[in-house]
Structure 1
């Protein structure tokens, strides 16, 4: 009830989440590019870093902790935390690379939909708040089941290295 009026929403009480909210300010932060895991990838080989493409201002990398196989991130090379700090060239290339990532993932895995977005700042849910990155998450009808909810486990049917090989190979073949 809201103000004496029913709001039509069901309630799922999750008091265990309060520990996460209470300790959010204690999550790991990265003091500059030398500590940033996204900046560290730039000095690694593409295969070791899971980088599938390096552009002029941005690069595309597989998420090390994917929601689904093929979960990519588009990142500027510069160590910036906010979308508002991106140059026009960085912003534009992020868009172009996001479109290409969608085409590549559709080609290699028959993707039926996408979740695309950025979490800005720790309060906005960014795991690496200090380095801007846009998620490109492929989706398929029925790709979510009871495992994450009941078992707190995500089933991923493909190894990261296998996904990297498929996506990297297709990147140069897709416009």
Structure 2
């Protein structure tokens, strides 16, 4: 409901980096920001309002809105981190499939249109059940901080970050 009501939306909106959660997240302590891994140009962070458990976002550090605005190295790293995210989620939660994509612009469904982000949504057979339709709710069996710690521990290489690591 916080997402729908907009109660956590900054007063000036998300258009400027000072109010953008994707610009602010890398500078916060890892456990608070839900950042799972950091690369040189992009990072992976858990979605605060997940469609499914383990829903990750891959974001460039640079505050850009459109996919064509990424430079070559950002585009390559975004793709590589997305691949790693899929491997990590599969290893931790045995996802059966994924929805991967970007909503470009508010009219396309982007909640934060000013800062490009790619969704990595794990899927399992039968994950769309009666709860959202009849119960008007979604069951998320794990706290986001716990999911973040599991993914961060499983992330390979130097981009791995621990639960108490402050971001620079």
Q: TM-score scaled by structure 2?
A: 0.84
Where in structure 2 are there 5+ consecutive unaligned residues? 5-11, 158-168
Residues matched between the structures, number = 147
Q: Which has the higher contact order (CA 8 A, sep 6+)?
A: 2
For 1:141-156, list aligned pairs within 5 A.
141-156=125-140
Where in structure 1 are there 5+ consecutive unaligned residues? 1-19, 21-27
Shift, 1:161, TM fit: 1.0
Contact 1:29/1:130 (<8 A) preserved: no
Shift, 1:31, TM fit: 3.3
What's the CA shift string for 1:67-108, capped at 9, x where partnerless? 111100000000001101111111110100000000000000
Paired residue for 2:25? 41
Q: TM-score scaled by structure 1?
A: 0.81
For 1:122-141, list aligned pairs within 5 A.
122-141=106-125
- Secondary structure, counterpart of 2:85 in structure 1: helix
2:147 paired with 1:169: no
In 2, Cα distance between equivalents of 1:133 and 1:155? 24
Shift, 1:112, TM fit: 0.5
Shift, 1:146, TM fit: 1.3
Shift, 1:151, TM fit: 2.5
2:28 paired with 1:50: no
Paired residue for 1:7? none
Aligned-pair Cα RMSD in Å: 1.5
